[in-house]
């Protein structure tokens, strides 16, 4: 891979992905950071001034297909990480969410084909499996767009998806909120004492994206095998002495998250370190009948000390 473009390249994942690519033994000759936040781009460009021979910063919005196509000229691979993801904002401004997460995904897929990009991998979320909120619904639609794009592209460009759970330390996650409230000696808000989530660190997410990019053939949704954690245990890991206030599950929020539904299990295969949802017929090891990958039915759980280590 000689050149790669990352949409949402100044976000939590995009930025860590850039750092991971720069540290690779066989790093790309060109890394294009595509995002609409020129201030974050400027700060990132100054911080990585010694990498200016590799990095190229492109101000643009995934809603602008022409700008995407221009940025993708000469690019071999695209990681599509740009999205609106704050659930209350998406519920409040649904048209904006649709324009970015669905129409933006279509723009990325079409621009990549017109620019002659070889591989495109899109970042999805557990919220896309049996979605309950608009964010999840738009990400499910985006998944469908990228998988179906393989039929339109007829092999000229290959498209796949990675779907994973909550990312430790990403912007908008619960950890900064809990830390702030703990420092102010305030009660920590717990939506439900039994709530569970899948958990992945940013470096793990980057490794998973890049390894999936290397392995993809097109039409796959890659799902990592992740540990689960209880939100109450997370609160205890951040502030063992804190008091907790149960505030109730918010609109659009699930008690437990699902990464693979029972219906999807019919076309899900076990690849040792990950699952792959695909209609490909060349993968041997299917998951068991009635398989469901849900955060409360996991065989891997993070303890309070393990959570403390991940947070640190």
Positions marked active-site: 127
Angle at 32 between CA 29 and CA 33, to 5 degrees: 140
Alpha-carbon gap, residue 188 to 181, rounded angstroms: 7
- DSSP notation for 265-302: GGGEEE-SSEEEE---S----BPPTT--EEGGG-S-B-
Closest CA to 141 of 94, 198, 71: 94
Element (DSSP H or E) covering residue 120: strand 119-125
Cβ neighbors of 49 (< 8 A, separation 6 or more) are none
End-to-end CA, the chain:
33
If DSSP codes are grouped into helix, strand and coil, which group holds residue 67? helix
Angle at 24 between CA 84 and CA 79, to 5 degrees: 25
Q: Map tokens 């029972």 to a residue.
A: 262
């Amino acid at each position: 891979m000689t050149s790669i473009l990352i949409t949402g390249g100044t976000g939590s994942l995009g930025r860590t992905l850039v750092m991971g690519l720069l540290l690779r033994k066989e790093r790309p000759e060109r890394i294009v950071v595509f995002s609409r936040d020129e201030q974050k781009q400027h700060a990132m460009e100054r911080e990585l001034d010694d990498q200016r021979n590799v990095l190229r910063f492109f101000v643009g919005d995934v809603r602008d297909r022409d700008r995407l196509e221009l940025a993708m000229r000469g690019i071999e691979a695209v990681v599509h990480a740009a999205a609106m993801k704050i659930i209350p904002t998406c519920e409040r401004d649904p048209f904006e969410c649709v324009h970015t997460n669905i129409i933006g995904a279509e723009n990325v897929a079409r621009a990549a084909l017109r620019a002659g990009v070889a591989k495109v991998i899109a970042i999805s979320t557990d919220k896309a499996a049996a979605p309950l909120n608009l964010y999840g619904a738009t990400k499910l639609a985006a998944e469908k767009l990228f998988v179906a794009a393989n039929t339109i592209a007829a092999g000229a460009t290959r498209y796949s998806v990675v779907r994973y759970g909550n990312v430790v330390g990403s912007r908008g996650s619960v950890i900064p909120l809990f830390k702030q409230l703990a420092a102010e000696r305030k009660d920590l808000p717990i939506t439900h004492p039994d709530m569970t989530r899948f958990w992945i660190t940013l470096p793990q997410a980057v490794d998973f994206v890049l390894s999936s990019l290397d392995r993809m053939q097109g039409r796959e949704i890659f799902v990592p095998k992740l540990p689960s954690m209880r939100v109450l245990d997370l609160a205890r890991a951040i502030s063992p002495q804190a008091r907790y206030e149960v505030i109730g599950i918010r609109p659009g929020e699930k008690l437990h998250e699902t990464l693979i539904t029972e219906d999807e299990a019919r076309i899900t295969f076990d690849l040792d370190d990950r699952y792959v949802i695909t209609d490909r017929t060349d993968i041997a090891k299917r998951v068991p009948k009635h398989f469901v990958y849900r955060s409360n039915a996991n065989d891997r759980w993070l303890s309070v000390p393990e959570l403390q280590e991940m947070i640190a």
